[in-house]
Amino acid sequence: MTDTTLPQYDTLKTTLTASSLSVTPAELHGLLSGMMSAGLDADQGTWMPMLYDFTNEGMAWPNEAKLLASQCLTIIKEQLTSDDLSFSLLVPAEESDLIDRADALSEWINCYIAGIGLMNIKQKDLDSDVKEALSDLSEIAQLGVDEDDDMEEQSELFEQVFEHVRVCAMTIHAVLGMRKPTETKKTLH
């Protein structure tokens, strides 16, 4: 199991807000997770300009926010490549309002899918498992919590959906993120 944990949702939210960034912690984590799941090599440093373009009209982030984003990416990489299936999603804590958690999960999913898109993954190149996982995520992002229903039941359903999202992300990473770079064909003369 990885020894490092993600920053607290509220701590990250405070930093992003203080930095005048219009991105939630769930969106940030989803975007970075999607990029990693689609094969981002975090060591190359190409992720920061993509993050700036997607979240801040190409403008660089303040240092404190940039440091937290970098820490998140490191932890995402550790969790996704760990054998213990420890990957976790960054949404408000369990004791938070269920509607806030559901909204954050939807934000996470939408940015996760966008992160995959930023990596130029072509639909035609996806295998059936990845297509199914992406389809599931797209449908889940549309769901909401019905305030008129039994909230305890809604909470239990949310936890099941949350776990399914986590498994979908790990499945996608197992296929796309763990690919070996394609070797260029050598021509013999």
Question: Residue 189: inside a domain, yes or no?
Answer: no
Q: How far apart are CA 74 and CA 171, in angstroms?
A: 19
Question: Residue 4: inside a domain, yes or no?
Answer: no
What pLDDT is recorded for position 145?
78
Cα 126 to chain centroid distance, Å, stands at 18
Please choose, from the candidates 32, 56, 27, the residue with its C-alpha nearest in 3D space to the C-alpha of residue 46: 32
In this structure, what token pair is assigned to residue 122? 């072509």
What pLDDT is recorded for position 1?
46
- Which residues 6+ apart lie within 8 Å of 178 measured at CB? 81
What pLDDT is recorded for position 3?
57
CATH of the domain at 103: 1.20.120.740
What pLDDT is recorded for position 102?
94
Side-chain half-sphere CA neighbours of 142 within 13 A: 5
Question: Residue 185: inside a domain, yes or no?
Answer: no
In this structure, what token pair is assigned to residue 96? 């938070």
Whole domain around residue 27: which residue ranges?
A: 9-177
Tell me the average confidence (pLDDT) per consecutive run of 10 residues in the chain, 189 residues long.
76 95 97 95 88 94 94 94 90 91 96 94 88 96 82 90 96 83 42
What pLDDT is recorded for position 147?
79
What pLDDT is recorded for position 159?
94
Question: Residue 50: inside a domain, yes or no?
Answer: yes
Question: Residue 183: inside a domain, yes or no?
Answer: no
| The model's pTM | 0.90
Question: Residue 187: inside a domain, yes or no?
Answer: no
| Number of structural domains the chain divides into | 1
